[in-house]
Each structure stands twice: as structure tokens, then as C-alpha cells.
Structure 1
Amino acid sequence: MTIDKTVASADEAVADITDGASLAVGGFGLSGVPIVLIDALSRGSATDLHVASNNCGTDGWGLGILLEQHRIARVVASYIGENKEFGRQYLAGELEVELTPQGTLAERLRAAGSGIPAFYTPAGVGTWVADGEMPWRYAADGSVAVTSPPKEVREFDVDGQRVPFVLELSLVCDFGLVRAAKGDRHGNLVFHRSARNFNPLAAMAGRTTIAEVEELVEPGEIDPDDVHVPGIFVHRVVELTGEQITTKHIEKRTTRENS
């Protein structure tokens, strides 16, 4: 039996993402962001989305597009900077934000794909991350409306000393949205250098994972040793056009004079 996971268009691939769906979205800054799938979502009607991603794009690009449309209700992220609208909505009480250490976010996504419901980490011990009172949502008057609950803290023996660790839950999402440099029809994916970032983790965390790929190849053309995400984690593959491949933004363009 041939398994062909390719879908004709991004719009078709995201058509069953409905109101209130949770999304694990790959990318770091603007590197490796599944912008074509996000654009397709922006043309649809799904709202009240819950997003888990390192950051939320920039103003007018990436997840920032959905933010500007007020389609995102909650974000789990490690970083707010580079997006003024993200910060504005958070402080104005229009958006719930769960800030989490970057490594913890990565492990919560990886654990979700590995069937691990929770894990202990030293990151955040002794802070609002563990003790609670992290502002998740502000009220319109600037007061804190919703705070994070306290988390379980437990001590373990580390090099002969009792060290506290905080319990973190895995982050299973309804959908994973990722961008890969290469993929085959079975869903095996390869990422290019820094664009790998959170993409493999987002792919693992989604119950249904959709990958946009810059180069679509036939099964067997990718050396198994080169596969970053095996097709078992991927359910739909969208081949990008030449224009979609080359349409990429740079957060901060830095140049210098030739010497």
C-alpha cells in the first residue's frame, strides 16, 4: 500500500482547524516559520486559537498576522520581544500569555511527542514560574486578572545534595505546523541549519501535524540517517511554490561596509 500524505494546497491542509484549536508552531524569530500555513489560516475563519511557539512572529509577519486579526486567545511562549502588538494585547488584557523558560518549552513539546505526561526540571525553581503568581492575563485597568497556579516542587539527590526541581506538564496540541527544507510523500522531513529550531518539537507535539516543504521528493530519496523528523509524526505535506519558497523576511538586517 502506498502512503501519500501530500495535500494539494495549504488552504486544504488547514481546513479542519476550527475555533479553539491548539497549535504547536515551529520557528524561532522568523527562521523556519510555516508562513504559508499561517497565511492559509488567516484566510479562514478559525478563531480563539491557543498557540504554543517560541515567540509570536513580528508585526505583520508569521503568527503576528493572526494576532493582528485577534484570532489568538492564548499563547505559550518564551519570548515577547520584536512584536509590539503581542506586547500591547498582553498588557491590555486582550490575550492570555503563559511565559515559560525556553528550554522548558522545548522539553514540554518533546515530551508530548514521546508520550511523557510530565517531567521535573530545575528551571524556574524559586521564581513565579514554580511558585505561581505569574501574570497570565491582565485586566483592562492594568491589574492582574489571572495568575499562574503554583507547581509541584520536589527534591532529588544530585551529586550528594538535595536539589529542588519543578514539575512541568507536557504540551500536547491539536495541530502541529512546521516548515521543512525537504520532505517526501511519506512525511519524512529534513530542516536546513538554524531553521530546524523548534520545528521537530512542534511536529512531535501535534496530534495532526502539517508540514510545508520547500522541496518534495519521492520516498527513498532521503537517506534515513539524514531524516530529522520521521514520517510517523507527520500527517499532511504541502509542497511550496517557487514564490512561496523565496518569500522570507529578516528580523534585523545588519550590513557593514566592505573593507
Structure 2
Amino acid sequence: METAADAVADIPSGATLAVGGFGLCGIPAVLIQALLEHGAADLAVVSNNCGTDDWGLGPLLHGRRVRRVTGSYVGENKEFARQYLGGELEVELTPQGTLAERMRAGGSGIPAFYTATGVGTQVADGGLPWKYDAEGRVALASPAKEVRSFDGRDYVLEESLVADFGLVRAWKGDRHGNLVFRASARNFNPLAAMCSRITIAEVEELVEPGELDPDLIHTPGIHVQRVLALTEEQAAQKQIEKRTVR
């Protein structure tokens, strides 16, 4: 893709997005900014968290573009918490490992799976507040899920996740969509790429097909439909969620 605007131009309002990243590490910031400028609204986002107030998915929240979030962590985003508690945003909080497996299963053609995580809690029994009303009352709660016993232990049935579009960021990539992530920036990016019908990858370094060692490719091009090469300035623009000094 020539520009980030071109890459996200056909994402409509109401779409479901799977977005890579963990905190501010490995987030597709350039594509997110382009989506903000594009104007799509009423979005349902699947992401571990929503960044901070002014970086990552935070600007989309501030712009009232997000209707629903499926994630595992609110993090440092005060606007995320305010919208959720104020009844402006629907939030499905999911155990982090379960969220990762729901995304992986969606990309593998597995409709659902059983896990022991959440058995005996509201995750399985239902009643988790998904949305509040303006007075702080629960307007929408999670439903109860099927629980089944295997070898004397209970497991809860979790459904997989499939998104309309996926936004990911890679360290290196080629024009076929093969991607390599660097260290912990891999995080949820391969999963977001897998579970999306159309995946858009922004890459810090674009190489020609054949230059990547096949054994080092984390996400094969079969999962990626669009590639955007970042400029040096865009690739270097990164933030730290919480800086700790001694």
C-alpha cells in the first residue's frame, strides 16, 4: 500500500477490528492514526488493551469511535475506564490467556474450545458487567457459558474470535506479507493477523521476497493481505507506557 490512508480506506463504520500490541509495545500506531482520520465509527475492537489516553487505541476512544472492546486489561487508559463506568462503552473483559486462545482458534478454524480458566467465577457463571447505564447500574451482563467435566475436572466453553480487519505492526516484512516481529513486540500481533479476514501490516523495514529466512518468519503471508512500509520517522516514533528510573 502506498499510504496508511489507502490501507484503511475501506474499513467501514461498524466493523470488528483485531489490533496487535501489548500496552504501547508493538502497536500499529500509524494505521490507528489513519483510521482515526478516516472517520470510521461504531467499531468493535478486539485487543489486549487500549493503549494510553493519547497513544495506541486511546485516540479512537477519545474520538468516540469505539462501541465495544474485547480485551483483558484496562491499563493506564483513564478515558477507557471513564467511558466504561459511565455507560458509554461496552467492555468484555476476558482472561488474557483465554483471549489469546480465542484469537488463535478463530484463525485456525476452531469455533470453540474448553478451558479450566474461569470455572467457578462469573466468567463461566455469567453476570460480569459488559455495560453500565448512566446511573451506574448494570445494563448488560455476560451470559452463562457451558461447563463440562473431563476426567473429573470442570472446563468452560469459550467461543473463538474472528474480526473483519486486523491491524498489526512488524519489525520486518516482505511484499508477500511474511512478517517478523522483534522480541516482546510480537505479543498479540500474530494472533490478530490470524483471526482477521483482512489483515493490514505496517512494517518498520520492508524487504524483498526471499530475503527473510523461512525459519524466522513468525506470521506467514497467507494471513496478511496488505503491507505498508513505514518511513524511518514513523518507525522510530515509539512511546513508553510507564518509565521507571532509579
Q: Into which bin does the TM-score normalised by the smaller protein fall?
A: over 0.9
Query: Larger radius of gyration, structure 1 or 2?
Result: 1
Give distance in 2, aligned partners of 1:251 and 1:56.
Answer: 12
Query: For residue 72 of structure 2, what is the aligned residue in structure 1?
Result: 78
Q: Hey, what does 2:29 align to over in structure 1?
A: 35
Which 4+ runs in 1 deviate beyond 4 A? none
> How many angstroms apart in 2 are the aligned matches of 1:139 and 1:127?
23
Match of 2:123 in 1: 129
Is 1:143 aligned to 2:174, yes or no?
Answer: no
Given the alignment, which residue of 168, 177, 184 partners 1:187? 177
* Partner of residue 99, structure 1: 93
Taking only the aligned residue pairs, the percentage that are identical comes to 71
Distance 1:81 1:29 in 2: 7
Q: What 5-or-longer segments of structure 2 have no aligned partner?
A: none
1:57 maps to 51
Q: CA deviation at 1:81?
A: 2.1
Offset at residue 225 of structure 1 (A)? 0.0
Distance 2:167 2:210 in 1: 24
Deviation at 1:74, TM superposition (A): 0.1
Aligned position for 1:4? none
- CA positional deviation for 1:121: 0.3
The residue aligned with 2:164 is: 174
Note if 1:113 corresponds to 2:103: no
- SS where residue 167 of structure 1 aligns? strand
Whole-angstrom distance in 1 between the partners of 2:13 and 2:30: 19
Describe the superposition over 1:59-108 as per-residue Cα deviations: whole angstroms up to 9, x where unpaired: 11110010000000000000012100000000000000000000000000
Query: 2:111 is aligned with what amino acid?
Result: P
CA shift digits 1:16-41 (9 cap, x unpaired): 10010000000000000000000000
In structure 1, distance between residues paired with 2:176 and 2:237: 26
Note the residue ranges of structure 1 that are not aligned, 5 or more in a row.
1-6
3-state SS of 1:202 partner? helix
Residues 7-22 of structure 1: pairs in structure 2 closer than 5 A: 7-22=1-16
CA distance in 2, matches of 1:56, 1:128: 23
